[in-house]
Amino acid sequence: MAHTLQVIEPATEQVLAELPHAGVEEADAAIERAKAAFPAWRDVTPGDRAKILRRIAAAIDERADDLAELEARNVGKPISDARGEVGMVVDTFLYYSGAPERLLGDTIPVAGGMDFTFREPLGVVGLITPWNFPIAITSWKLAPALAAGNTVVLKPAELTPLTALELEKIAVEAGLPEGVFNVVVGPGRVVGERMVEHPDVAKIAFTGSTEVGRRIGALASQSIKRVTLELGGKSANIVFADADLDRAAASAPLAVFGNAGQDCCARSRILVERSALDRFMDALEEAVDSLRVGDPLDPDTQMGPLISADQREKVSSYADGEAPVAIRGSAPDGPGYWFPPTVLCPVSNDDRAAREEIFGPVAAVIPFDSEAEAVRLANDTIYGLSGSIWTRNGARALRVARAVESGALSVNSNTSVRVSTPFGGFKQSGIGRELGPHALDAYTELKNVYVSTE
């Protein structure tokens, strides 16, 4: 072990845990364990694999309160959000427990014989996860990977490794054979890159910044490793003047400030039709003022601190930039990495605050004059992850939903993620889809077998 890693609680700046810090040697050992465990796990009958996934779901459910508290303290997220996310982890394992017995293939009509397709596991899959939704995002990758018969090495973000380590223990206690799921806590540049470059890792599933995603893609290309990437966003929340403005404004703050803005789905560009701008801003101000920012463990809290001092410094540079601050909410004084919810208005789509992923509680309001301009602005970004359209005009809602280049859009709602529906990005927001039945494609190879009957 190289040295000890201190895990910090963002709301107090105190040490929450100390862990051994892994390096290349530990990464190699985990990959070796996963490789050794693969043949037996692949050959577990589909029904038995399903049962183990259901037992893991039940065991997480039993420990849900403890896991939620650990996640809330480690990330600084409101306990009510953490409870919801742990609930989603349970649902994700239950959803994919239906998969082992439903990984169907095709029979294809061909001349001279019969043709079948099979979905086969890849082998050892490497998961690299971020610090914003640690346990939830882990489950989106881990559950379909295991369901399809792969073994797994997970490298959680060093800032937030605690629930991943608990999950590893819970899974083994629930009956997952030793070596099938291995957690290695170490730096991305060392442990993460080792996983990407290791010849015995068949695939990398990554969530994090577009910059690191680019590097992983480049390194993985050396061995034609399978890669799925869930990266950044700069999503548009498009509010037309004919929308229910009160509802749109009431739900806009948490669509950016939820998880303190550290959300790849954050609708951080709020596009508002100019004729409704004043009414919308008045309602938005009221909603921002009523946001409860404070102790993550208070069940009424809606927004906690940022993850780290570095993240706060990065976020400050946008809030103190070229665009005027129209609304500034409140935040506790230190200790803790607090940052007040902040709305900039009017913002040009060319401003830095409208172009770069801020990953903090800073929203940019951008006025527009026509549907065509709204679509142009929404698409004028390197990203394409999520977004919303607020209007009472059904035909317009459908037109705009088809025209916006984005992986997950909502009409008159700001939600993006459901266990049973695909989630992922267009453009530089990523490659591949998580959740829903589509995620299984990312954890299986398609094999075609032809049998001559002549």
Q: Give me the residues that bind ligand NDP (CB under 6 A), please.
A: 128-132, 155, 157-158, 187-189, 192-193, 196, 207-209, 212, 215-216, 230-232, 264, 357, 359
Catalytic annotation present for 273? no
DSSP 437: G
CB of 440 vs ligand NDP, minimal distance in Å: 21
Catalytic annotation present for 265? no
51, 111, 112 from 48: Cα distances, Å: 5, 37, 37
Of residues 93 and 131, the one with the C-beta less far from ligand NDP: 131
Q: Token pair of 171, please?
A: 């899974």
Of residues 49 and 269, the one with the C-beta less far from ligand NDP: 269
E strand segments, 84-214: 107-110, 113-121, 124-128, 151-155, 181-183, 203-207
C-alpha angle with apex 263: 380 to 336, nearest 5 degrees?
130
CB of 128 vs ligand NDP, minimal distance in Å: 5
Chain position whose Cβ is nearest to ligand NDP: 188
Burial classification of residue 218, based on how many CB atoms lie within 10 Å of its CB (0-12 exposed, 13-18 middle, 19 or more buried): exposed
In the chain, the amino acid numbered 211 is E
CB of 311 vs ligand NDP, minimal distance in Å: 6
From 230, 273, 357, 434, the catalytic residue? 230
Contacts 24+ apart (CB under 8 A), 398-401: 399/371, 400/238, 400/371, 400/374, 400/375
CB of 392 vs ligand NDP, minimal distance in Å: 32
Of residues 102 and 189, the one with the C-beta less far from ligand NDP: 189
CB of 419 vs ligand NDP, minimal distance in Å: 17
Of residues 155 and 203, the one with the C-beta less far from ligand NDP: 155
Of residues 143 and 264, the one with the C-beta less far from ligand NDP: 264
Contact indicator for 340, 253 with CB cutoff of 8 Å: no
Find, among 444, 442, 439, the residue nearest to 418 by Cα.
439
Name the maximum alpha-carbon separation found in the chain.
80
Contacts 24+ apart (CB under 8 A), 208-212: 208/128, 208/129, 208/130, 208/157, 209/357, 210/357, 210/382, 210/383, 210/428, 210/429, 212/188
Ramachandran angles phi, psi of 360, nearest 5° = -165, 175
Find, among 429, 433, 428, the residue nearest to 443 by Cα.
433
From 264, 265, 357, 434, the catalytic residue? 264
CB of 206 vs ligand NDP, minimal distance in Å: 7
Contact indicator for 280, 241 with CB cutoff of 8 Å: no
Q: Is 118 left (phi over 0), alpha (psi -120 to 50) or beta?
A: beta
Of residues 123 and 192, the one with the C-beta less far from ligand NDP: 192
Q: Token pair of 99, please?
A: 């998969």
In the chain, the amino acid numbered 124 is V
CB of 190 vs ligand NDP, minimal distance in Å: 8
Of residues 185 and 248, the one with the C-beta less far from ligand NDP: 185
Which residues form the catalytic set? Answer: 230, 264
